[in-house]
Amino acid sequence: MYLGLTKAKVIVENPETHASREVELIVDTGSVLTWISRKVLEELGVKPRRVRQFKAIDGRAITREVGVTTIRYEGYEGDVEVIFAEEGDAQVLGVTALETLGLEVDQVTGKLKYVGHLALYNDRWHLFN
């Protein structure tokens, strides 16, 4: 079983202007959301859409702006809500982005691998239509 730190080079793109940049992110399966440097997002022209409050590991309440980017990894892409990471915040690729891209961390190699998308639905929905 792989116990090291997984990093991934992804392309972050502004979905409105298509300006893009390669960024190396820590893959964090314990983080729901993706955090990317404010500087990078501003350089790409990504506009914040709202402000969210988060609870830091040490218990502090912090607020950060969030926006939407397109993230690409080895031919897979998806639109992902991202946090404008401030100085001192880690840049991470979170679980929501991994799910959107159909990726997971291979437990043997520590690399990202495509596993597809799981469609969970109630197969009895047709009884109500």
pTM above 0.75, yes or no: yes
Q: Percentage of residues in the chain with pLDDT exceeding 90? A: 80
Query: Looking at residue 125, what is its pLDDT?
Result: 55
Nearest-Å Rg of the Cα atoms of the chain is: 16
Pairing of strands 61-73, 50-55: antiparallel
CATH fourth-level superfamily of 7-128: Acid Proteases (2.40.70.10)
pLDDT tens-digit map of 7-18: 999 999 999 999
Q: Where are the beta strands (DSSP E) in the chain?
A: 7-13, 20-27, 34-37, 50-55, 61-73, 76-85, 92-93, 103-105, 112-114
Rounded to the nearest integer, the mean pLDDT of the chain is: 92
Give mean pLDDT, residues 59-78.
96
Instruction: Output the pLDDT for position 4.
Output: 78
Map out the domains of the chain as residue ranges: 7-128
